């Protein structure tokens, strides 16, 4: 079968392409942004890529067009697909019908931590010898790729609440029909498609409706937003984690790099790893509970987690220059920003943290989180904000509460110059963005090497 994928270079759709190719299909694709690393990964798999959305890309007609959720009416290839009455479907729909229907699906959902937790879960299953398939919205360092078929029956999927396609406005995750579901947390996000938290909760209720009575839902205890979703109706056994949950953690190291896992107050395992932050401790507990449902003993899970390498762009150390460390993180919501900084602060103690933020997500650019942004950066010693002229709101006013600690720039090179000039031995530079940020990481490392030649 010949699949043509519109929007193929996104992480999710690129993963679909790799899975389809592994199933033996011919795969081609179009995207407005055909560039590494996704382009090289796809081309290495024998997938032909085409720049732009020319209707000619659909000639001769493929057997099915798989449509990414970034596609909209008015795009030439989309209009040609409809006018020619070509067979089409969304990425989640294709995944369900062609791969997930015969699998034990372990889905990881929630506003924050999906990629990291899904990566942990896939690694724990892998380490237990179960060779799971997976589709994750990032690149787990233990695997080096974002998607693979794996062996039956287990398949781990990052379950995103974003809408499915221009013709299907349900959340992606309603297509996956998991047997094991992690619902990590729930806050308002994606203001470009949801009006309020209630709309998001309704989608999570639809997800819960798809989990069988023989399945398991793993969720935080004491979360009002999650409890409200469960209160809409739940027909599946549940296990909770957190301070008041059946599963909890007892920190051995204050930064979360060493902790005990407790079940009903009794120690059942210990994790000692290279990661930090209460959010990662919570992710680890959810992983242990979900893996146990799939048959992995607790001690095997904790042993695997102690060797978990992490995920690209999740507190990824991009380089160090003369005692200055530069980290890259995907944080793009006030809660994620605050928890990432909290984990780093606990790890480095009194060392200075220089936070560099690009408010890039659709929700950020709409200004929805402006009231919480400055407070989310409170643990940073210096804050540098990229505010391009088309940002749409007054960044200087939003961050005024940070006083002289905050600097707003409308040019990336200006941020690079300012951070490099300020940095000194022992500083921790934390760059946060859900995009490429104009290659700022390499620019910063180059500038640091120039200023600190060693």
Tokens of 323: 């005692």
* 131 vs 125: CA distance, rounded Å: 7
* 428 vs 348: CA distance, rounded Å: 8
- Closest residue by Cα to residue 180 from 33, 295, 68, 87: 295
Tokens of 174: 């309603």
Polymer length of the chain:
454
| Alpha carbon 264 to chain centroid, angstroms | 30
Tokens of 280: 């990662």
* 77 vs 98: CA distance, rounded Å: 24
Tokens of 127: 């380490």
Residue 312 assigned ligand-binding role = no
Residue 117 assigned ligand-binding role = no
Tally Cβ neighbours within 10 Å of residue 304. Answer: 23
CB within 8 Å of 101: residues ≥ 6 apart: none
Residue 236 assigned ligand-binding role = no
* 426 vs 103: CA distance, rounded Å: 48
Residue 210 assigned ligand-binding role = no
- Closest residue by Cα to residue 256 from 346, 166, 149, 192: 346
Residue 340 assigned ligand-binding role = no
Phi/psi of residue 412, nearest 5 degrees:
-65, -40
Tokens of 329: 């993180």
Ranges of beta strands (E only) in 12-144 are: 26-31, 48-51, 64-67, 88-90, 104-109, 133-135
**Omega cis (within 30) before 37:** yes
* 285 vs 113: CA distance, rounded Å: 12
Residue 115 assigned ligand-binding role = yes
The b/e string for 170-186 (b: 16+ C-beta within 10 A; e otherwise) is bbbbbbbbbbbbbbbbb
- Closest residue by Cα to residue 429 from 377, 354, 350: 354
Residue 112 assigned ligand-binding role = yes
| Residue stretches of the annotated binding site for ATP | 110-116
| Residue stretches of the annotated binding site | 110-116
């Amino acid at each position: 079968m010949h699949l043509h994928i519109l929007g193929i270079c996104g992480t999710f759709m690129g993963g679909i392409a790799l899975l389809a190719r592994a199933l033996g299909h011919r795969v081609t694709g179009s995207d407005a942004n055909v560039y590494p690393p996704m382009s090289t990964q796809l081309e290495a798999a024998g997938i032909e890529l085409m720049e732009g959305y020319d209707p000619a890309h659909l000639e001769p007609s493929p057997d099915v067009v798989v449509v990414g959720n970034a596609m909209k009416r008015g795009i030439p290839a989309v209009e040609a697909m409809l006018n020619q009455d070509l067979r089409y479907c969304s990425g989640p729909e294709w995944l369900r019908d062609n791969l997930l229907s015969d699998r034990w699906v372990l889905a990881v959902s929630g506003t924050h931590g999906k990629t990291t937790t899904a990566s942990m879960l896939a690694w724990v299953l892998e380490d237990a010898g179960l060779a799971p398939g997976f589709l994750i919205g990032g690149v787990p360092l233990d695997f080096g790729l974002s998607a693979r078929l794996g062996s039956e029956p287990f398949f781990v999927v990052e379950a995103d609440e974003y809408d499915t396609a221009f013709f299907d406005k349900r959340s992606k995750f309603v297509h996956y029909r998991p047997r094991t579901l992690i619902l990590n947390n729930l806050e308002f996000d994606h203001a470009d498609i949801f009006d309020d938290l209630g709309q998001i909760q309704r989608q999570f209720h639809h997800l819960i409706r798809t989990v069988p009575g023989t399945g398991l839902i793993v969720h935080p205890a004491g979360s009002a937003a999650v409890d409200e979703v469960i209160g809409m109706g739940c027909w599946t056994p549940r296990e909770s984690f957190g301070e008041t949950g059946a599963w909890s953690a007892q920190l051995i190291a204050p930064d979360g790099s060493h902790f005990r896992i407790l079940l009903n107050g009794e120690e059942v395992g210990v994790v000692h790893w290279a990661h930090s932050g209460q959010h990662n401790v919570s992710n680890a507990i959810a992983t242990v509970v979900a893996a146990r449902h799939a048959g992995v003993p607790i001690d095997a899970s904790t042993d695997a987690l102690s060797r978990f390498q992490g995920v690209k762009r999740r507190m990824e150390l991009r380089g160090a220059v003369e005692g200055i460390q530069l980290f890259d993180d995907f944080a793009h919501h006030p809660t994620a920003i605050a928890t990432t900084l909290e984990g780093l602060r606990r790890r480095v103690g009194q060392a200075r943290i220089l936070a560099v933020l690009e408010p890039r997500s659709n929700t950020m650019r709409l200004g929805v989180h402006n009231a919480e942004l400055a407070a989310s950066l409170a643990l940073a010693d210096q804050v540098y904000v990229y505010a391009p002229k088309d940002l749409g709101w007054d960044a200087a006013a939003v961050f005024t509460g940070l006083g002289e600690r905050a600097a707003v720039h409308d040019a990336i090179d200006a941020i690079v110059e300012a951070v490099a000039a300020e940095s000194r031995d022992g500083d921790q530079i934390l760059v946060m963005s859900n995009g490429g940020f104009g290659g700022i990481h390499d620019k910063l490392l180059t500038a640091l090497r120039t200023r600190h030649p060693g």
